[in-house]
Amino acid sequence: MTYFEAIVLGIVQGLTEFLPVSSSGHLELGKVLLGDTSLPQQSMMFTIILHLATALSTLVVFRKDVWQILSGMIGPVHSPEWQFSFKIILSMVPAAAVGVLFSDELERLFDRQILLVGAMLWLTGLLLFIADRAKDTAQDVSYRNAFIIGLAQAIAILPGISRSGATISTSVILGVDRTHAAKFSFLMVVPLILGKIAKDLLDGDLAFDASEISVLSAGFVAAFITGLIACQWMITLVQRAQLRYFSYYCFTVGTLAAAWALLLQ
């Protein structure tokens, strides 16, 4: 992989991790368009590095909230910070279970499965379209909602389903306040990403070549900087109920991806 390819894919990850158009799907499309010939393990290593970058950008954007949560956890168990932390943990259970039980199967799905990406982008578009028409309320995230949103996040492991799109749409459909929905969606994925990286490192599942450190770093920096911008932009877009425009985008790219995959068969 060249520096140019790494930076382009880093920018793609930084934008699409927060914008509801599927970062995993766009990374797979980007790899195909750029002619990436990495082995599946090497490709997964690069993908994880980019996800780490956007996870860190999330922590930077929500640093005050994260600090309040961490500091509040040393206080009373029934404090708002404790409750929020438990909801985050509860939301992680479905995706963590899927990741542990089906890790090998999932890795094979991230190997240029363009037809699958196209179909799942259509599903993302439908979710966004429905959520955009949902009634705006001022509800907070309940424990029940946290688990349901976690189920949406587990399904969004599939390439082509936007994680932020699935979780934010599910939250809004459940009646959660749009600002709370965006914040919860972005924060709930951070522990999962860090846990996934730790597991893969301990298991030795990632292919790492020391000669690629500089290329990986270029992609990391591009994803981190772009992620900072996209995260704050997405919060504003959710508040303004402008998700339908992203649904049109998902329908268009999903159709093109599916058509391309069928033509290449």
Distance CA 41, CA 13 (A): 18
Q: Radius of gyration (Cα) for the chain, nearest Å?
A: 18
Distance CA 262, CA 226 (A): 32
- Domains: count for the chain: 1
Contact 176, 137 (CB under 8 A): yes
- Which residue is associated with the tokens 């979710």? 127
> 13-38, pLDDT tens digit by residue?
888 888 888 777 777 777 777 776 55
Distance CA 180, CA 126 (A): 22
Residue 62 has pLDDT above 70, yes or no: yes
Angle between helices 63-72 and 80-101 (to 10 degrees): 100
Distance CA 228, CA 179 (A): 17
Chain Cα centroid distance, residue 33: 21
Residue 113 has pLDDT above 60, yes or no: yes
pLDDT for 265 equals 67
135-166 b/e with 16+ CB inside 10 Å = b?
Answer: eeeeebbeeebbebbbbbbbbbbbbbbbbbbb
Residues 6+ apart with CB under 8 A from 112: 28, 31, 32
Give the predicted TM-score (pTM) of the model: 0.79
- Which residue is associated with the tokens 């409750």? 83
Domain of 251?
3-264
> 167-193, pLDDT tens digit by residue?
989 998 998 988 888 888 888 888 888
Residue 108 has pLDDT above 80, yes or no: no
Largest CA-CA distance found in the chain, in angstroms, rounded: 60
Chain Cα centroid distance, residue 204: 23
pLDDT-derived band at 39 (thresholds 50, 70, 90) equals: very low
